[in-house]
Structure 1
Amino acid sequence: MILKRIQYRLGMTTRMAGFGEEESGISDSEIIEGFLRPKIEGEAVAIPGLIVELGEELYTREPWLLPQTDHPILNPREWLYLGKPNRNNVPVEGVDHEGCWVRIGSAVLIRSEETDEIIGGTSRFRYRFRNKGDKHALRWSNWFMKEYRLFNPTPHVICKITEKLS
């Protein structure tokens, strides 16, 4: 059922979702039910090859240096990653910059589209950075992340990272 809904949306246009993000052709509940839950339970995901598995690198590398895959269901500047959650929010030393993901807004519960039960949650983040050796304050980037997690704590999350060009 989830796969059919995703395939139906492939031709749909995007619309603004807020915080610099465009809404993709896949809903929040579909990310949880079609990708995160099956991945954690060792089952097949709705669309193989859509999500890049990174582990802890997801939070310790600059977002523009993460591997990027093109897929027709996602917007051109949008990528999905499977990683381990990180709540450190302390600037880490990356390749060219020191930076961190900073939470923006509050967490939102995600309900199943089929049963209306709470299945998970999502939090929004924006990347802040400074050049290495620079003593000035961190600057906001044009990179946004939406972190998806199951309602019951697990060692993995799926993150949708988006680059806003304007």
Structure 2
Amino acid sequence: MVSEGEVRSRISDEDIIEGYLRPKVNGEAIANPRFIVDNMEEELYTREPWLLPQPTDPILNPREWFYLGKRNRKYRQAEGVHCEGAWILIQGRSPVLSEESGEIIGATMRFRYCFRNKNDKSAMAYSNWFMREYRLCDKSKPYNTPHVLCKITCNL
């Protein structure tokens, strides 16, 4: 489900979980699509979004990028390298359901990049950058896998 301000993706949430994230986490040998940047690790959360690699592909919308990495355990706020801003949680965990079985297969969390006001270091202003973090749901450890696939979008 797309929320206000977020670019609608041509790839469904279920496809993101089952087609890209689950095979990666399970170590399955699949060809990683060229539009997904792999092994971002902590850089995904600590670099300003406009500094991340931004591959293009006809399957993607303009200003939409995908990154595989490990989740940041600082859910509420993850500061950028230059402390100019941070990813702020704007929507908590939402389940992703299988269309076929109706079972929970994963979850998403939404973040928005905020800038520090140069005149007031405590104030933050929202930007047009959004991140949707996708995680697997393992029946034995719901939402506890360290790997994530993140979709970052910029709305102009």
Please list, as runs of the form range in 1=range in 2, the aligned pairs for 1:1-166 lying within 5 A after superposition.
Answer: 17-45=2-30, 48-53=33-38, 54-88=40-74, 89-90=76-77, 92-95=79-82, 97-130=83-116, 135-152=121-138, 153-165=144-156
How far 1:45 sits from its partner (Å)?
4.1
Amino acid across the alignment from 1:125: F
Letter in 2 for 1:155: P
Count of matched residue pairs: 149
1:65-88 deviation digits (Å, cap 9, x = unpaired): 000000111111000001111132
Aligned pair in 2 of structure 1 residues 75, 32: CA closer, same or farther (>3 Å)?
A: same
Amino acid at match of 2:45: Y
What is the letter of the counterpart of residue 65 of structure 1?
Answer: L
State the 1:25 CA deviation: 1.1
Between 1:19-28 and 1:124-133, the stretch displaced more is 124-133
- Name the structure 2 match of 1:5: none
The Cα of 1:135 is off from its aligned counterpart by 2.5
What is the distance in 1 between the residues matched to 2:88 and 2:96? 21
Q: C-alpha distance in 2, partners of 1:156/1:58?
A: 12
Kept in 1, the 8 Å contact 2:71–2:147? The answer is yes
| 1:81 to 1:132, Cα distance in 2 relative to 1, 3 A | farther
Shift of 1:90: 4.2
CA-to-aligned-CA distance 1:129-165 (integer Å, 9 cap, x gap): 2277962512111100100000122121000000010
Q: CA RMSD in A?
A: 2.2
Q: State the distance in 2 between where 1:25 and 1:72 align.
A: 10
Q: TM-score, normalised by structure 2?
A: 0.85
Identity score, percent:
60
Poorly superposed stretches of 4+, deviation over 4 Å: 131-134
Aligned partners of 1:120, 1:67: CA distance in 2, in Å? 26
More helix by share: 1
Runs (5+) with no aligned partner, structure 2: 139-143
Q: In the alignment, is the contact (CA less than 8 A) between 1:51 and 1:79 conserved in 2?
A: yes
